[in-house]
Amino acid sequence: MTSFDDLGLSQKVLGAVADAGYSTPTPIQEGAIPHALLRRDICGIAQTGTGKTASFVLPMLTLLEKGRARARMPRTLILEPTRELAAQVAENFEKYGKNHKLNIALLIGGVSFDEQDRKLERGADVLICTPGRLLDHAERGKLLMTGVEILVIDEADRMLDMGFIPDIERIAKMIPFTRQTLFFSATMPPEIQKLADNFLQNPVRVEVAPPSSTAKTVTQRLVASGSKDYDKRARLRDLIRAQDELKNGIIFCNRKKSVADLFRSLERHGFDVGALHGDMDQRSRTTMLANFKDNRIKLLVASDVAARGLDIPDVSHVFNFDVPIHAEDYVHRIGRTGRAGRSGSAFTLVTKADSKYLDAIEKLISQKIEWLDGDLTTVVASSDDADESKGRGRDRDRRGKGRRQAAETTSTTETSNGKKAENVKQARNTENTTESAARNSRPRPANDDHRTRRGRNRDNDDGPTPVGFGDDIPAFMLVAAKA
């Protein structure tokens, strides 16, 4: 059996690895580290939770033992798609680099530029950042990238598939062509592989698991649900309560608004829950993640900002409140559980509208996922759903009653003003008709159809603006002024 001693790492790194309690490398580490030490470009593909971060951190530490960084000229660059993942990589460098005297700079949004500038002034051996914040510093003249020896693009498919391509191309032009480039990801679809090849020179492909495969330690189940949000929320509550071995869990939603709504709903029903999404400020995100890691909260409702690479070793359950639109995200989401050989459970709520997304997921992972308690043909509204639906109905009735009372009061007031109100109304109708005819006679702009379509998506508030108050004159304006 291969040990870390056989991979060619330095004694300082081996000492830190031993102190961390590791003796045997994972397959991705065993395959990638020797090639990285030879300064070969690498495209590494492995399931999430198999130690990809150490696959580039450990050889980088060995290679960085020779030489020192100069001010504003980092020696190595690591790009991450999210702030949380960047911070986690920085923690790995601190853990495994405790025997080294290296300067590590973390450049992410939500943190003061001044504090980051001071770290760059001291010289950064390792620069860990998100692409946007790196370019911000470069445009301010605070960085010179000509000294970069190693470029790491972590979660490569996400970096290239989610709009980072132009930023990465700009960054690649700032650093030497002779650099060493390392790509690591859990998924690498063929179309993304073609893009990755543009950044790699004669790479070694280290693939220790089929692309987009899921860990066998994770039990996957589909859960049929009604299509309304209150149907899904009630189904999720029942599902959570039914888990006897639930230690903690992450609940994934597709949208940030859904995260906020589901968090409030679960909190109202007495669950120990927190929320994490991209619109939160960095301090709140860091605190929430730390609370979950330290078991101060049991459930974490999150967007896909928590789906990639976050190392929370002992998550017992993952719940997909929404079926992910991109099939690859499913692999990353359920990879938050069943890590490091532990067993885990993943449940995905499915509505009739989710069929095409489910088909894409099963095609990607090359397996059929079993249903829990029947498929979509067995969906029946629960009593909780009915209660919540009735509550909404009562709210609508109260609002409707209030509007009717207000309308009756306005009608009575207008009638008391007699013919004056009727005359003003007729004059206003004539003015509106004239104005409408004038608008219709004007030529429409070329993008009018596009604007109309957008208007429908904004609840039809994009129509013609009424002149004045339109037909509805407030009653108080019909009262004659005192002399």
CATH tag for 4-207 (out of 3.40.50.300, 3.40.50.1370, 3.10.105.10, 1.10.3330.10): 3.40.50.300
For range 254-279, the mean pLDDT = 92
pLDDT reading at 473 higher than 70: no
d(CA 276, CA 306): 8
- Residue 448: is it exposed, middle or buried by C-beta count within 10 angstroms (0-12/13-18/19+)? exposed
pLDDT reading at 384 higher than 60: no
d(CA 226, CA 347): 15
Higher pLDDT, 466 or 47: 47
Residue 463 DSSP label: S
Higher pLDDT, 138 or 403: 138
Q: In DSSP terms, which residues pair with 252 in a beta bridge? A: 302, 320
Q: pLDDT at position 397, please?
A: 57
Q: pLDDT at position 286, please?
A: 81
Higher pLDDT, 414 or 165: 165
Q: pLDDT at position 463, please?
A: 39
pLDDT reading at 72 higher than 60: yes
Contact 25, 96 (CB under 8 A): no
pLDDT reading at 443 higher than 70: no
Q: pLDDT at position 211, please?
A: 63
Q: In DSSP terms, which residues pair with 73 in a beta bridge? A: 70
For range 106-134, the mean pLDDT = 91
Task: Confirm whether 4-207 and 218-383 share one CATH topology.
Answer: yes
pLDDT reading at 427 higher than 90: no
Count CB-CB contacts under 10 A for residue 436: 13
Higher pLDDT, 278 or 145: 145
Higher pLDDT, 380 or 11: 11
Tell me the domain boundaries of the chain: 4-207, 218-383, 418-483
Q: pLDDT at position 285, please?
A: 82
pLDDT band at 465 (very low <50, low <70, confident <90, very high): very low
Q: pLDDT at position 251, please?
A: 96
pLDDT band at 414 (very low <50, low <70, confident <90, very high): very low
CATH tag for 218-383 (out of 1.10.10.10, 3.40.50.300, 3.30.200.20, 3.40.140.10): 3.40.50.300
d(CA 228, CA 251): 18
pLDDT reading at 429 higher than 80: no
Q: pLDDT at position 232, please?
A: 95
Higher pLDDT, 281 or 388: 281
| Per-position b or e across 107-142, b if 16+ CB within 10 A of its CB | bbeebeeeebbeebeebbbbbbbbbebbbbbeeeee
Contact 320, 282 (CB under 8 A): no
| Residue 274, phi then psi, degrees to nearest 5 | -130, 175
Angle formed by the axes of helices 52-63 and 27-37, to 10°?
Answer: 30
Q: C-alpha angle with apex 367: 362 to 370, nearest 5 degrees?
A: 85
pLDDT band at 331 (very low <50, low <70, confident <90, very high): confident
pLDDT reading at 438 higher than 70: no
pLDDT per position as a tens digit, 186-223: 777 777 777 778 888 899 999 886 766 777 889 999 99
* pLDDT above 70: percentage of residues in the chain: 75
> 220-224, 288-292, 320-324, 376-380: which range is least confident on average?
376-380
* CA-based radius of gyration for the chain: 29
Contact 259, 275 (CB under 8 A): yes
pLDDT per position as a tens digit, 85-96: 898 899 999 999
pLDDT per position as a tens digit, 9-54: 999 999 999 998 888 999 999 999 999 999 999 999 887 667 889 9
Higher pLDDT, 284 or 347: 347
Q: pLDDT at position 428, please?
A: 52
For range 125-134, the mean pLDDT = 94
For range 223-233, the mean pLDDT = 93
For range 117-132, the mean pLDDT = 92
Nearest to 275 by CA among 294, 266, 288: 288
Q: pLDDT at position 342, please?
A: 82
For range 465-472, the mean pLDDT = 47
Q: pLDDT at position 6, please?
A: 93
Q: Hunting for tokens 């095609």 — which residue is that?
A: 363
Q: Tally DSSP H helices, then E strands, for the chain.
A: 17, 14
